[in-house]
Amino acid sequence: MKQKHIISLLLENESGALSRVAGLFSARAYNIESLSVAPTDDETLSRMTIVTSGTEEIVEQIIKQLNKLVDVVKLIDLTESEHIERELMLAKVEAIGAARDEVKRLVDIFHGRIVDVTDTTYTVEISDTGEKLDAFLSSLSSIKIHEVVRSGAIGITNGENVLAC
Amino acid sequence: MELTGAEIVVQSLIEEGVEHLFGYPGGAVLHIYDALEQQEKLQHILVRHEQAATHAADGYARSTGKPGVVLVTSGPGATNAVTGIATAYMDSIPMVVLTGQVPRALIGNDAFQEVDSVGITRPVVKHNFLVEDIKDLATIIKKAFFLATTGRPGPVVVDIPKDITAQKTEFSYPREINIRSYSPTIPSIKGHSAELKKAYELIMEAKKPMIYTGGGVILSNASEQLIKFAQMLGAPVTNTLMGLGAYPANDKQFVGMLGMHGTYEANMSMHHSDVLIAIGARFDDRVTGNLEKFCPDARIVHVDIDPASISKNVKVDVAIVGDVGEVVGELNKLIEASDQRMESSALASWWQQIEEWRAQDCLKYNANTGTIKPQFVIEKLHEVTKGDAFVTSDVGQHQMFAAQYYGFNKPRRWINSGGLGTMGFGLPAAMGVQLAHPGAQVACVTGEGSIQMCIQELATCTQYGLPVKIINLNNGFLGMVRQWQEFFYDRRYASSYMDSLPDFVALAEAYGHVGIRVDKPEDVVPALEDAYGKYKDRVVFIDFMIDREENVYPMIPAGAGLNEMILV
């Protein structure tokens, strides 16, 4: 059965490292739902979070193949344990008439913020799990969505365990 | 001492113990060539096409275990090398390829002879580097050799911008290297002790054991351990195409190669085994046939250095990650320390069954048709060379005939492109082998299709006095393509007929070599004897005009299981 996995890894902060990871996924036909990457407090390292899905066997292969890349320093499958997942979304939605109140109410329910306002639109910022962001978008139902930007998920384990060198 | 980047490249190679460098000059590597010209420790071999440089380095590596080293220029130099890099990658061959690059200031400007060599080679290397600072140059070369030769070996590319080769810096070659994200010895190189014990226990329960070994045994120089292991157990052994020679073909426990063109006894023993011991092999599709039907009754032990090879294609019961030689050595210790052995009556009846399969004599062929049979040529090659030649091959029917009929008794004697299946590999690989083993008998078993893919290397053989023997099995067809068209496309021989062939004898002579055409079976042995006798110091091209429509048997058709072979 296919399941969603969030793989978080420490990568050498070197040119070409990102393309090695991206190339691995395309070359081996692995699914990639989102990928986010940025430097860490240690400037020699980047932290990358990949959301993928696949059967147990496929995900096992993905992890082994990632570990084989020389630029991958450490790796964890966050979905194996308790973890915190966050994704940032910016959405520009139509806000005319009754929709102005309706959107504001939904944004409150989803613990988001309205960060830009025009006569006809609101720009909404929400940070939560991918599923919650999906739920927000579908709750808008008849309200027109002009634009959606999502960062892809990032994540970290609960408790005292750390992924570090 | 301050050296230029070019001198650092050359000195670093010398520090690594490199004696031969295969390459082709061009604009971006002129400084390096100039530095090469001013020293005598390192010999440069000028090939006639960059693809051949990589194949020659590959043959050198396969026959010695040392890394092959290549130097090519930027742009087309690098792209021409890609086929050879991919060939080495698929077969896990240690290789370091230095590519020239345009000066840093021009990178990304579509400069003359610029390509993104790091980008182009990324999917077919173990790792690659673009040198961005001359201060990193020596360290990167050290890392390249370390990566290429440790763990599961493979090719590593180092892309060096031209301006860096002209700059100067202080040179000292690093003694040690540490790459924090790369630990080829973890998990334990000897294998995890609990897994070793589990494997041992499972093996001892076997009633129908089968040992299946691949190129990993050769890469790890583990033949001795394998022979001891197999002989202590008394179990049958099969080798993959990449693993031939790891176990002596003339030993009675050897049941031949397995897979698509393997022997009936090897494939049937695989299919009916109850414990399969896979060592340094990767369950390639040409070996397993239809995965749904693969070894239905077997519990599987898999020994491999690469964790990613474990349970990739076939789920295994016991996995031991480690160096094959070390792991099999540990298993041998466990067996030696105990009185427990497999149940001997069960093993005896297993062998009885195997002998029945062997009695089918699946490799028999009719040698008395008046035409030259390719199988016959290979058997005679074995006899004339006393089974002791280094045999390289190209890809196609001749490759399978060589694998099936030569009978390799030693590792590193069978040199072929198993994974990528690269036509054009044979001749340059033979040059690399001959260079590494100057007095040895070297045969390039090829066909009239494959040989033309790198035939320009006949000139390189002349220049460096590399007396390889070319065994051209000429049937006027791209034989393996034609065979498939005969079986699966109603004999519509689309583009598999080789028209307008050159006169190979005249061609060989034009390059200054000996050319011999053989049309009759009775002339096969005299021609081979001349090649390895009176012409032993010359390149000899023997053009064997063989049976035009001979097929490679046995054969497992696509989608079938190992027990569903076509015998004749």
Regarding the domain with residue range A3-80, which homologous superfamily does it belong to in the CATH classification? ACT domain (3.30.70.260)
pLDDT of residue B188: 61
Nearest by CB: A70 against B130, B181, B310: B181
d(CA B541, CA B526): 14
Chain A residues touching residue B118 (CB < 8 angstroms): 16
CB-CB contact of B248 with B545 (8 Å): no
Kindly provide the residue ranges of all beta strands, DSSP E only, lying in B406-460, ordered along the sequence.
414-415, 442-447
B302 Cβ under 8 Å from any chain A Cβ: no
CB-CB contact of A64 with A25 (8 Å): no
Per annotation, catalytic residue among B50, B114, B195, B550: B50
Over residues B181-193, the mean pLDDT reads 76
pLDDT of residue B4: 98
**Which of residues 119 through 158 in chain A touch B, CB cutoff 8 A?**
none
Residue ranges of domains in chain A: 3-80, 84-154
The CATH code of the domain at A84-154 is: 3.30.70.1150
pLDDT of residue A86: 98
Please name the CATH architecture into which domain B2-170 falls. Answer: 3-Layer(aba) Sandwich (3.40)
Say whether pLDDT at B505 is over 90.
yes
Which residues, 6+ apart, have CB-to-CB distance to B54 below 8 Å? B22, B68, B70, B81, B83, B84, B85, B87, B88, B95, B97
Would you call B480 a catalytic residue per the annotation? yes
pLDDT of residue A165: 80
Over residues B461-484, the mean pLDDT reads 97
For the B374-545 domain, the top CATH level (class) is alpha beta
Which residue carries 């496929």 as its tokens? Answer: A58
Would you call B197 a catalytic residue per the annotation? no
pLDDT of residue B84: 98
B178 Cβ under 8 Å from any chain A Cβ: no
B102 Cβ under 8 Å from any chain A Cβ: no
Neighbours of B473 (CB within 10 A): 32
pLDDT of residue B185: 64
B118 Cβ under 8 Å from any chain A Cβ: yes
Confidence of residue B186 (pLDDT cuts 50, 70, 90): low
- For B508-566, how does the pLDDT look when each residue is reduced to its tens digit (9 = 90+)? 999 999 999 999 999 999 999 999 999 999 999 999 999 999 999 999 998 899 999 99
Kindly provide the residue ranges of all beta strands, DSSP E only, lying in B231-298, ordered along the sequence.
237-239, 254-257, 275-279
- For B355-386, how does the pLDDT look when each residue is reduced to its tens digit (9 = 90+)? 999 999 999 999 889 999 999 999 999 999 99
Residue ranges of domains in chain B: 2-170, 193-358, 374-545
Per annotation, catalytic residue among B342, B480, B555, B565: B480
Kindly state the percentage of chain A with pLDDT values over 70.
Answer: 100
Say whether pLDDT at B187 is over 70.
no
A66 → chain B, closest CA residue = B308
Say whether pLDDT at B462 is over 80.
yes
d(CA B458, CA B244): 27
- For B1-55, how does the pLDDT look when each residue is reduced to its tens digit (9 = 90+)? 899 999 999 999 999 999 999 999 999 999 999 999 999 999 999 999 999 999 9
Average pLDDT, chain B: 96
Confidence of residue B305 (pLDDT cuts 50, 70, 90): very high
Matching fold, domains A3-80 and A84-154:
yes
Rg of chain B taking only CA atoms, in angstroms: 24
CA distance, residue A84 to nearest chain B CA (Å): 26
B181 Cβ under 8 Å from any chain A Cβ: yes
Are A19 and B122 a contacting pair at CB < 8 A? yes
Say whether pLDDT at A48 is over 90.
yes
**Which of residues 20 through 79 in chain A touch B, CB cutoff 8 A?**
20, 23, 27, 57, 60-61, 64-65, 67-68, 70-74
Record the tokens describing residue B125, joined without a space.
């290397």
Confidence of residue A56 (pLDDT cuts 50, 70, 90): very high
CA distance, residue B311 to nearest chain A CA (Å): 8
Confidence of residue A42 (pLDDT cuts 50, 70, 90): very high
- For A78-125, how does the pLDDT look when each residue is reduced to its tens digit (9 = 90+)? 999 999 999 999 999 999 999 999 999 999 999 999 999 999 999 999
Regarding the domain with residue range B193-358, which homologous superfamily does it belong to in the CATH classification? TPP-binding domain (3.40.50.1220)
Question: Which of B311, B334, B307, B331 is CA-nearest to residue B321?
Answer: B307
> Within a 13 Å sphere around the CA of B359, how many CA atoms are in the beta-carbon half?
6
Predicted ipTM? Answer: 0.93
Matching fold, domains B193-358 and B374-545:
yes
